[in-house]
Amino acid sequence: MFTNEEYKDIENKILNGERLSREDGIRLFHCKDIAWLGAMADYVRKKKCGDIVYYNVNCHVNLTNICTSRCKFCAFGRDEDMPGAYAMTVEQAKDVVRDAMKDPNLAGLHVVSGLHPTWSFDDYLKILQDIHDEFPNLYLKGFTGVEITHFSKISGLSIKEVLEKLMGAGLQAIAGGGAEILSDRIRNELCPNKATADQWLEVARTAHLMGLKTNASMLYGHIETLEERVDHLLKLRDLQDETGGFQTFICFPFLPKNTELGKTIKQTSMWDDLRTMAISRLMLDNFQNIKAYWVMLTVPVAQVALGFGANDIDGTIHKETILHDAGATSPTALREDTIIDIIREAGRIPAACDCNFNILRKF
């Protein structure tokens, strides 16, 4: 184990299993000793999760990229009349799933989409229900806190009523996107047309109280301060203390290509990505799983991130589009045997799981 004299007090807290404070988190973001940070995060990961790394044989379905929100960091959302705008029919969505079902190990669908200006909540619901009717054994994870807030707004239903209907149509877990940075200052600047920080948290809280698990995320590397990153993590930690309903936390580095914000902001460095991953593991002491999302990090950085606190590497995906619109250089899908090799090379044990982290196969 590395030691660091300057951060000895924090190191002692970590080794004693004590909770880190806001000030500790901010200091860690100024730490230049990346090897020590990684060793600390890896120590906590090993103690908490052992050597298993989760992955999911899954398929992403993005029903539409037409979106009323038009967030400044997003390269996926479009106006209806822009080139490349699309909205799937039920049959087109099912065709994507039918194609993905050629893989006999496919275990889950991940469904996230734009906030379409004319679709009703029933339109989204029907697609979900039809997919569930045709593929009843497929785990359905989908819709972010942003989408669910939108459904509530356009339907006049409460968040709880929206979730009840989604669960009735087969939904088994909620996606973690849309959290961005949970700060009104940042949301007013970058994405004023969608769920506020409090609304995003309220969706997660309501879902957890209904027994529906959700994921959490942080989009970093844009206009946020390091203090705001820490405050974001603390908001998630506080809610997890309250409900215990978050399954995994995902660090999303901002990808600038083809975004409005990207005209002035550069992509994060690998150093920042690994540091943020490690600090997330250390601050989120009540989260079991921390995900290294290979699509955004790239496969090599995601593999290294397994030594910086991560124990989850997402999935095969089938065909990723949202982040490739923003210039992601990773592949749009990975084969299952490639994911297994990536995990094994890192000295860990690959385990295929469903969207609720139930292990289906272990290697």
Residues near ligand SF4 (CB under 6 A): 67, 69-71, 74, 76-77, 114-115, 146, 191, 194
Where does residue 309 fall: left (phi above 0), alpha (psi -120 to 50 degrees), or beta otherwise?
A: left
Tell me 308's DSSP state: T
- Reference 320, options 110, 86, 106; nearest CA is 110
Q: How far apart are CA 250 and CA 290, in angstroms?
A: 6
Q: How far apart are CA 128 and CA 21, in angstroms?
A: 41
CB of 194 to ligand SF4, least distance (A): 5
Show Cβ contacts of residue 9 under 8 Å, excluding neighbours closer than 6 positions: none
Q: How far apart are CA 119 and CA 116, in angstroms?
A: 6
CB of 147 to ligand SF4, least distance (A): 8
Closest CB to ligand SF4 among 108 and 114? Answer: 114
Closest CB to ligand SF4 among 106 and 112? Answer: 112
Q: Could you tell me the two tokens for 190? A: 């970058």
Closest CB to ligand SF4 among 115 and 302? Answer: 115
Phi, psi for residue 305 in degrees, rounded to 5: -60, -20
The DSSP code sequence of 208-228 is HHTT-EEEEEEEESSS--HHH
CB of 63 to ligand SF4, least distance (A): 11
CB of 71 to ligand SF4, least distance (A): 3
Closest CB to ligand SF4 among 114 and 350? Answer: 114
Q: Could you tell me the two tokens for 31? A: 């730490």
Closest CB to ligand SF4 among 149 and 268? Answer: 149
Q: Are 309 and 280 in contact (CB under 8 A)?
A: yes
Residue of minimal Cβ distance to ligand SF4: 77
Q: How far apart are CA 190 and CA 204, in angstroms?
A: 21
Closest CB to ligand SF4 among 109 and 191? Answer: 191
Q: How far apart are CA 78 and CA 62, in angstroms?
A: 13
CB of 267 to ligand SF4, least distance (A): 17
Q: Are 307 and 35 in contact (CB under 8 A)?
A: no
Maximum Cα interatomic distance, the chain, rounded to a whole number of Å: 61
Provide the sign of the torsion angle of the four alpha carbons 138, 298, 224, 278, taken in this order: positive
Closest CB to ligand SF4 among 115 and 328? Answer: 115
DSSP β-bridge partners for residue 214: 174, 246
Tell me 134's DSSP state: H
CB of 322 to ligand SF4, least distance (A): 7
CB of 359 to ligand SF4, least distance (A): 31
Closest CB to ligand SF4 among 67 and 107? Answer: 67
CB of 72 to ligand SF4, least distance (A): 9
Closest CB to ligand SF4 among 114 and 315? Answer: 114
CB of 298 to ligand SF4, least distance (A): 21
Within a 10 A sphere around the Cβ of 7, how many other Cβ atoms? 19
Provide the sign of the torsion angle of the four alpha carbons 240, 246, 248, 250, taken in this order: negative
Closest CB to ligand SF4 among 74 and 128? Answer: 74
CB of 253 to ligand SF4, least distance (A): 15
